[in-house]
Amino acid sequence: MNFTSDNWAGVHPAITENLAQYASGMAAAYGSSELDKRIEQRFCEIFEREVAVFFVRTGTAANSLAMASVNRPGGVVLCHREAHMVKDECGAPEYFTGGPRLQTVEGAAGRMNPASLLRELKHFRPDFIHAGQVMAVTLTQATEVGTDYQPDAIGELAAVCRDHGLPLHMDGAGFANALVSLDLTPAEMTWKRGVDIVSFGGTKNGCWCAEALVFFDPGKARDLPYIRKRAAQLFSKTRFVAAQFEVYLEDGLWLKLASHANAMASRLADAVRGNPNFRLAWDVQANEVFVILPAIQAEEWRARGVGFHQWPVPADLIGTVAEGEILAKLVTSFATPAAEVAEFSEILAGEK
């Protein structure tokens, strides 16, 4: 029963097969092959408009290059307090931009809201250059705590950005999970609500390593080829990333895989709700389940072979998590067996 992380999962068989199919033969390198071009075009269809797409190989790279594309001197990026970019990327976004700061914004359940965003923005005034200048806002969808931004919530943040002349970036490492959870089209969850750039993740949802950086205004991506190359993210045999996306985006495979992961998380959540010793930290809207439970029971879980991460208690849960309790993070993926979820549910039922 391994709920440690969706990046512990392997690769979906259809994707592996497609890689093998392209393994022989010569093809133009550095993203200029026919396959690369075809899959770039596929992204335009998926998003229902012309987009500029750049394949990269880690979510950290996608996020960092997105920030590099909007970089400004004395720049400040606003993001939620729990954002992956600020907590788990070892300073990559700052490194790739040569210094700009990630300034965190408060907000319950992993979400910024317009009020908290406006409060932060007030600190940066054109007549006080000592504080620097805000250069972008970034949100994570699904959020780091397994919740979603509703499309209207995205639209409200985008409106604040527009009023301040700021680009809005979406870290979509779990893009598919949010999409199926909200039952939206890619366009509805992004540019139709004012998002400018998306880090579109495939790795956590069945690919080996396939991420894409998507710009809804291709004119804003003019320097991206140079940004990607000097960041060592232009791969010679990049067609093998394209080959992953080819299958991933075919016949809705990506949505099926995400739906499975979400469904497994939903069942875990039900099991948790059924045991009065445990409680959910936040609504379960994607493929992550955060459980508040006595530390002693967490150890019992481990003893029974349940793999999971203990999570630092964030600011908005202080007071909620009692002495002797911990916060556990359970993650499901495209590869999580229903049998493991059932087994775990039985354990929870038995511990009542």
Contacting its own copies within 162-221 (CB under 8 A):
203-204, 208-209
Closest approach, Cβ 63 to its own copies, in A, equals: 8
Closest approach, Cβ 338 to its own copies, in A, equals: 15
Closest approach, Cβ 329 to its own copies, in A, equals: 14
Nearer to its own copies, 12 or 193 (CB): 12
Closest approach, Cβ 343 to its own copies, in A, equals: 15
Tell which one of 38, 125, 226, 252 touches its own copies (CB under 8 A).
226
Q: Please give the Cα distance from 81 to 235 (Å, whole number).
A: 33
Closest approach, Cβ 244 to its own copies, in A, equals: 11
Chain centre to alpha carbon of residue 216: 18
Tell which one of 75, 107, 167, 314 touches its own copies (CB under 8 A).
75
Q: Print the binding letters for residues 20-59 with its own copies: x by CB under 8 A, - otherwise.
A: x-xxxxxxxxx-------------------------xxx-
Query: What's the angle, vertex CA 307, arms to CA 293 and CA 284, rounded to 5?
Result: 55
Asked if 229 touches its own copies (CB under 8 A), the answer is yes
Element (H, E) at 186: helix 186-189
Return the closest-CA partner of residue 326 out of 309, 341, 345, 343. Answer: 309
Binding segment for its own copies (CB under 8 A), chosen from 108-116, 131-139, 191-199, 250-258, is 131-139
| Total length of the chain | 352
Q: Print the binding letters for residues 246-285 with its own copies: x by CB under 8 A, - otherwise.
A: ----------------------------------------
Closest approach, Cβ 307 to its own copies, in A, equals: 8
Nearer to its own copies, 30 or 49 (CB): 30
Nearer to its own copies, 92 or 166 (CB): 92
Nearer to its own copies, 26 or 303 (CB): 26
Closest approach, Cβ 111 to its own copies, in A, equals: 21
Return the closest-CA partner of residue 350 out of 296, 304, 285, 311. Answer: 304
Contacting its own copies within 80-119 (CB under 8 A): 87-92, 94-102
Asked if 235 touches its own copies (CB under 8 A), the answer is yes
The residue whose two tokens read 């022989």 is 24
In this structure, are residues 60 and 95 in contact, taking their beta carbons and an 8 Å threshold? no
Helix 114-121 crosses helix 151-163 at what angle (to 10 degrees)? 20
Closest approach, Cβ 181 to its own copies, in A, equals: 22
Q: Please give the Cα distance from 271 to 277 (Å, whole number).
A: 11
Contacting its own copies within 311-350 (CB under 8 A): 312, 335
Nearer to its own copies, 10 or 274 (CB): 10
For 60-86, b/e burial (b = at least 16 CB within 10 A) is: bbbbbbbbbbbbeeebbbbbbbbbbbb
Tell me if the bond preceding 142 is cis, omega within 30° of 0. Answer: yes
Return the closest-CA partner of residue 107 out of 155, 58, 145, 60. Answer: 145
Extract the runs of DSSP E, i.e. beta strands, from the chain: 52-56, 75-80, 101-105, 133-140, 168-172, 197-201, 211-215, 279-280, 288-294, 309-310, 325-331
Tell which one of 16, 150, 277, 345 touches its own copies (CB under 8 A).
16
